[in-house]
Amino acid sequence: MWYLFILAGLCGGLVGGMGMGGGTLLIPILTLLLGVGQHLAQGLNLLVFIPTGIIAIIIHAKNKLLDYKTFLFIIVPAVGASVGFAYLANSLDEAILKIIFGCFLIVIGIIMTIFAIISCINKKKKLTTKLGI
């Protein structure tokens, strides 16, 4: 059974490495397929995010892709909000937390679909402009 958790982590890491949040896949795998409680699944996701985030920051810093002024302006409120919302999530009933997370995934899916459509339209416009159509 432990190998299923490793497989879930690899799937989450693969999706996270492609630019989408790994928790988008990891949390549903843990809760729906492996029977882990919502609170524990979201806590594990946050725990996994820490080394991933640190590695991403190190790589971006080495490639000189960090704007340190903006980084500090964003990181301080983000950490504070993360801690606050972690406490809030912990105080919610698991059923309510599942509904909130499901709604979050639906909203993110809609937003990503809209951006994908806009991107396709823009690419098509650029292509037709280049071809003179």
Domain ranges of the chain: 2-91, 102-133
Of 113, 96, 111, nearest in space to 42 by CA: 96
What pLDDT score does 8 carry?
83
| Claim: this prediction has a pTM higher than 0.85 | no
- 1: pLDDT strictly greater than 80: no
Q: How far apart are CA 108 and CA 129, in angstroms?
A: 31
What pLDDT score does 17 carry?
67
- 6: pLDDT strictly greater than 80: yes
Residue labelled with tokens 């339209």? 121
What pLDDT score does 19 carry?
64
Q: What angle do CA 24, 44, 11 make, to 5 degrees?
A: 45
pLDDT for 48-83, tens place per residue? 778 878 888 899 899 999 888 888 888 889 889 888
What pLDDT score does 20 carry?
66
Instruction: Name the 3-class secondary structure at 37.
Output: coil
pLDDT for 93-128, tens place per residue? 989 988 998 898 899 889 989 999 999 999 988 888
